[in-house]
Structure 1
Amino acid sequence: MDDEARWTTARRLPHHHTLKPEDRLAGLLLLLYAQWPAAVSRLTIDHTEEPDGAVRIRLRAVPVELPAPDPASWFS
């Protein structure tokens, strides 16, 4: 998949309401953070943290801060 196709898919996934939310998240982790499907399937709630209101996910040793959702896009 070339970069343009990857970004197009990554922009569509959050709004693809025919897919389950967990499948959309898995797809984004694959596309944006280069995670292997096997690694994504092993993630649990214990891999997340929210110490100061920002959501972080531990994909490896250092947690990655996830961008805040854009409320304007929730209804599009």
Structure 2
Amino acid sequence: MDMPRNLGWGVRISWTFKSPVVWHKTNWLVGLLLLLASYGMVAIGWLWPVAFPWYLLISVIGILLLAVGYAWYLNHQ
């Protein structure tokens, strides 16, 4: 969740490359959300395996949308 700007890992969109603060905050949020989603994936896969593909799809799309929206918000503050 705490890595310098690079071309290999992290949320690499124009808003995060413009500012190290936006990069850090956005990637920290996405890292936290991915950690929480992974715990949810374990729980869903264990308790209700049929719903796992839908949970995976919805969580990944939701995290991507939140990441882009949060980076945009931070950049336009």
Which structure is higher in strand share? 1
Larger Rg: 2
Greater relative contact order structure (CA < 8 Å, 6+ sep): 2
Q: TM-score under structure 2 normalisation?
A: 0.30
Q: Name the structure with the higher helix share.
A: 2
Q: Give the TM-score normalised by structure 1.
A: 0.30
